Amino acid sequence: MNKQVRLIPYRVEEVLHESEEKTPLGIEMVQAPELWNEGYKGKGNIVAVIDTGCQTDHPDLKDRIIGGKNFTDDYNSDRENFTDNQGHGTHVAGTIGAALDDAGVVGVAPEVKLLILKALSGEGYGSYQGIIESIHYAVDWRGDNGERVRVISMSLGGPNDIPEMHDAIKRAVEHNILVVCAAGNEGDEDEDTEEIAYPGYYKEVMQVGAVDFDRNLAEFTNFNDEIDLVAPGVNILSTYPDNKFARLSGTSMAAPHISGAAALIINQCEDDFDRELTESQIYSQVIKRTEPLGNSRSMEGNGLLVLTNYTSSAEDRKRRLEKTR
């Protein structure tokens, strides 16, 4: 339990003081704006981000954060200080839910709320105990108006299969929370070798690999028989500490595209079906919105997330259009 889990290694491509690209290419690639136009922006959903924390007063994120907790020894173990002192968590949070406000960048689900759970230190490491406690906290958390977490996003991993961590994830799934995990960046581009990291390799999670903007698999993305799908993960623009922006590469950047997309899908499907979705139904609806890229299942799972790959009835579409007028 005291063994360390770490950030999945990633690349910082560029740090910017201003964003010249309002809607990042990754957000456009998964076609999130098309769902915004139908009125679905993640409103009412909570995504728990288990990472290095978040810059809580970043202009693009300050109104999206609903709460948080620190599970590391940083800040003298002050549990109420979940400020990001590394950078990774702020970047992940922005891809999920940066606000749509005509400034900076926008995330996949710009009206989602973020529960920031700092389980990794400024050095990018944390204990499995901290990860486990973070997951249980996300499951048990309730907002002032009874809100609860619908998605957990984890861009972290390690080589160890920890039964207590697996149990915590299974508990989250039993509480109808979709758990989204990065696959890892130890890939060697050889289909015949498997690269396995936990918690991504657990069957209960949605494991995400990475592609570039040309829809090619990233050179670093892990291959294994539990990959569920892929998303943009190369040169991804998002928020960064000190009110900055940055382009990062890694499956860590692919996973939050799926976490944010799940919030949009929950909005869309619960509107269509007029009932709350179970975790298995959320998972199924995400997978329905994938497009095969021509690689094996161990390389790309079900393919690339494309949010508009969805067929609804004429009545559903009419109701959505009426809502946006």
- Residue linked to tokens 């009110």: 243
Spatial CA neighbour of 189 closest among 216, 213, 162, 171: 216
Spatial CA neighbour of 233 closest among 266, 257, 269: 257
Contact 194, 167 (CB under 8 A): no
Q: What is the pLDDT of residue 94?
A: 98
What three-state secondary structure class fits 240?
strand
Q: What is the pLDDT of residue 314?
A: 43
- Running DSSP on this structure, what letter comes out for residue 323? H
Query: pLDDT tens, position by position, for the chain (325 residues)?
Result: 555 788 877 889 999 988 877 899 999 999 999 999 999 999 999 999 999 999 999 999 999 999 999 999 999 999 999 999 999 999 999 999 999 998 899 999 999 999 999 999 999 999 999 999 999 999 999 999 999 999 999 999 989 999 999 999 999 999 999 999 999 999 988 888 899 999 999 999 999 999 999 999 999 999 999 999 999 999 999 999 999 999 999 999 999 999 999 999 999 999 999 999 999 999 999 999 999 999 999 999 999 999 998 755 445 545 544 544 3
- Mind listing the pLDDT tens digit for each residue in 24-37? 999 999 999 999 99
Give the residue extent of every domain in the chain.
Answer: 4-324
Beta bridge partners of 4: 127
How far out from the chain centre does Cα 245 lie? 18
- Residue linked to tokens 């940066």: 98
Contact 205, 199 (CB under 8 A): yes
> Which amino acids are annotated catalytic?
51, 88, 252
What three-state secondary structure class fits 7?
strand
Q: What is the pLDDT of residue 320?
A: 46
What three-state secondary structure class fits 134?
helix
Contact 94, 108 (CB under 8 A): no
| Multiple choice CATH, 4-324, 3.40.50.150, 3.40.50.200, 3.40.109.10, 3.40.1350.10 | 3.40.50.200
Give the span between the Cα atoms of 49 and 129, in whole angstroms: 16
- Residues, the chain, total? 325
Contact 230, 301 (CB under 8 A): yes
For residue 4, give both structure tokens: 């360390």
Q: What is the pLDDT of residue 18?
A: 83
Burial of 106 (0-12, 13-18, 19+ CB in 10 A): buried
Torsion of the alpha carbons at 93, 146, 72 and 245, rounded to the nearest 10? 10
Q: What is the pLDDT of residue 1?
A: 52
Q: What is the pLDDT of residue 2?
A: 54
Q: What is the pLDDT of residue 4?
A: 76
Beta bridge partners of 208: 182, 229
Q: Which helix (H) or strand (E) holds 244?
A: strand 244-249
How far out from the chain centre does Cα 39 lie? 21
